[in-house]
Amino acid sequence: MSADVMIPYTTEAAIETYGDGADITVIAGGTIVMQLLNYRRMAPERAMLLSKAGMSYVNREGPTYTIGAMTPLSDLIGLAAPLGPCAANVADHEIQYQATIGGNLCAPTPPEHPSGDLQGPLIALRATVRSTGKGGIRRDGVEDFLANKAGRLVLDISFDAPQAGAFRALNRPHTRQFTALAVSGVRSGDKISLAATGAGPTGIRLASAEALAADPAAAAEAALNDVAMRDDSLASAWYRERTFPTLVSAVLIEIQEGS
C-alpha cells in the first residue's frame, strides 16, 4: 500500500499539515528516510515532503543567524567554524547538496554508527531550535530539543555568530560517510563552549572541559568525564577515548589563537 503524501508549498502549510505530529513521517532531504524506505524498514501511511515548502534560507540580522530547517549542508559550508567546517566534513558533495540541517539535527542514532553530525556544533553555538507539534510552536535550546524531539517538526535554527570557533574531527578514510568523533568549540566574550559528536547517542556538551578551558591539557582529560564512548562499526570506545583528548585540546588551542 502506498502512503498518503502531502507536499506543502509554504512553511505555514507545513505547520498545518504536520499538526500534532501524530502518525506522520517527515521527509526533508531524504538521505535518512529514503534508506529506510528502500530497505523496507519503514512503511509510512502518511508522509510529508518538505522539499517545496520554502524552508531553505540563511538569514543574518546583526549578529544573529537564522537558518531554515530545509537548508542543505552545502549552503552552510561557507559559514564560520564550527558549523561550516562540520558541514564540509559530512559525507560527500552530493549528500551535502541533499541533506538538510533540520534532518541532520533530528537524525535518529542507530546502533551501528553515530549520526547527527551538526548536533555538536549547534550545542557549542548555544543555538535555539524553533519547532512545531503538539502544543504549538516553541523554541528550545538544542540540548533540550534533542531530549524531547519526538513529535516535533523543526522550523528554523538560530544562533549568534561566535567571536572565534573551531572544529576538529577524527579523519580516517573509512569515516567519510559519518562523523565518527568530533569536537566543536566556540568563544563568545569570556565564555567558552565545547561539545562533541560521536561521543554518545546524541551531541553532548563538555561541561567539565568548559570549566577548565584556560588549560587545554587539563580540559582535554576532564572532557572524558562528560562523554560515554561506545563501540560501533566506525571505532571502538577504547580508540575514541584515546583520540578524544587530542581533539579537545586542538580545538581549545585554535580558539585561543583565533581570539
Partner 1 sequence: MNIRLNGGTVDIKSPPLTSLLTVLREELNVTSPKRGCDQGGCGACTVLVDGTPQRTCLTPVAAVDGAEITTIEGLGDSENLTAVQQSFLHHGAAQCGFCTPSMIIAATAYLDGDGSAEPEAIQEALKGHLCRCTGYQKIISAVSAAATKSEFDLTSMTASPNTVILPGGDT
Distance CA 70, CA 72 (A): 6
Closest distance to partner 1 from the beta carbon of 247 (Å): 22
* Interface contacts to partner 1, rule CB under 8 A: 2-3, 5, 7, 27, 29-31, 34-35, 37-39, 44, 47, 49, 51-52, 91-95, 97-98, 176-177
Closest distance to partner 1 from the beta carbon of 14 (Å): 14
Nearer to partner 1, 176 or 230 (CB): 176
Nearer to partner 1, 36 or 250 (CB): 36
Closest distance to partner 1 from the beta carbon of 199 (Å): 23
Closest distance to partner 1 from the beta carbon of 145 (Å): 25
Nearer to partner 1, 70 or 196 (CB): 70
Closest distance to partner 1 from the beta carbon of 7 (Å): 6
Nearer to partner 1, 47 or 223 (CB): 47
Nearer to partner 1, 17 or 66 (CB): 17
